[in-house]
Amino acid sequence: MSKRKETDSVTPPQAIRFSRRRLYISPGMASPNTPFITLSSAASPCVQSTIGVVPSAQSDPHVAQPFLGSYQMTTEDGQSYDFSQVLLTTMTSQSFLNSLAIALGPFLSAAIGDATKHLSEKLKEQEATIEQQQGSITSLSNTNTRLENRILDLECQLEELEQYGRRTSLRFHNVSIPQSSSTDDVVVSICKDKLGVEITTDDINRSHPIGKPKSNGKAQIK
């Protein structure tokens, strides 16, 4: 009891005692105005490290901010360990990462699901719109194909009509264009005198000059 009281008597007023283990500030960091904190751990009562409390320059000067010191850990048998290295080894171990993944997995899945829910709904809407537009494009393409085929059929029919009309169409070249009589009389005369074919003006649907007469007054008659 006397030894315990003696230890307590040397502890600064700002020290906090939790159990037998204490964390001391490094001598290199100590200053007359720097308080230190005594912490405890039931797992390893003889482990020592350094932790200090310094005022924050950007906040209330009366509020202390923690900082870490040398991180040296000493066991009962006198062996020292670098606490930062032990912490790094633990946090990079596969078992720790697996445990962390198991613990955080459900929360991350829920967070990602909530974040992507509206994107999934928007994607479904876009897919429905694309499907509808694809149907419209297919329908328009089929209609365009039918119209193209119809145009080809009409062009063929027009060509046949033109060919049929040309069967009764004759063109006479280098014919003197009469000034007083019609071109029908000229055609009847040519057929009778040149071709030996007897026709009348009633057999002619229509006749007319083609183009302007040449300098000699001759042109084509159709």
Q: What is the pLDDT of residues 73-118, one digit of tens each?
A: 676 777 777 777 778 888 888 888 888 888 888 888 888 888 888 8
Residue 133: per-residue pLDDT? 94
pLDDT of residue 93: 86
User: What predicted TM-score, i.e. pTM, was given to this entire model?
Assistant: 0.32
More confidently predicted of 193 and 48: 193
Percent residues over pLDDT 70 in the chain: 63
CB 182 within 8 A of CB 164: no
Best CA proximity match to 73, nearest among 36, 17, 23: 23
- Confidence (pLDDT) at 13: 39
Predicted confidence at residue 21, as pLDDT, reads 39
pLDDT tens string 162-217: 777 666 777 777 777 777 667 888 888 888 887 888 888 787 777 777 777 777 77
Q: What is the 3-state secondary structure (H, E, C) of the chain?
A: CHHHHHHHHHCCCCCCCCCCCCCCCCCCCCCCCCCECCCCCCCCCCCCCCEEEEECCCCCCCCEEEEECCCEEECCCCCEEEHHHHHHHHHCCHHHHHHHHHHHHHHHHHHHHHHHHHHHHHHHHHHHHHHHHHHHHHHHHHHHHHHHHHHHHHHHHHHHHHHHHHCCCCCEEEEECCCCCCHHHHHHHHHHHHHCCCCCHHHCCCCCEECCCCCCCEEEEC
Q: Which residue has the higher pLDDT, 136 or 14?
A: 136
pLDDT at 40: 35
pLDDT of residue 24 exceeding 80, the answer is no
CA 213 to chain centre: 72
Q: Given this model, what pLDDT does residue 174 score?
A: 77
Separation of alpha carbons 188 and 185, rounded Å: 5
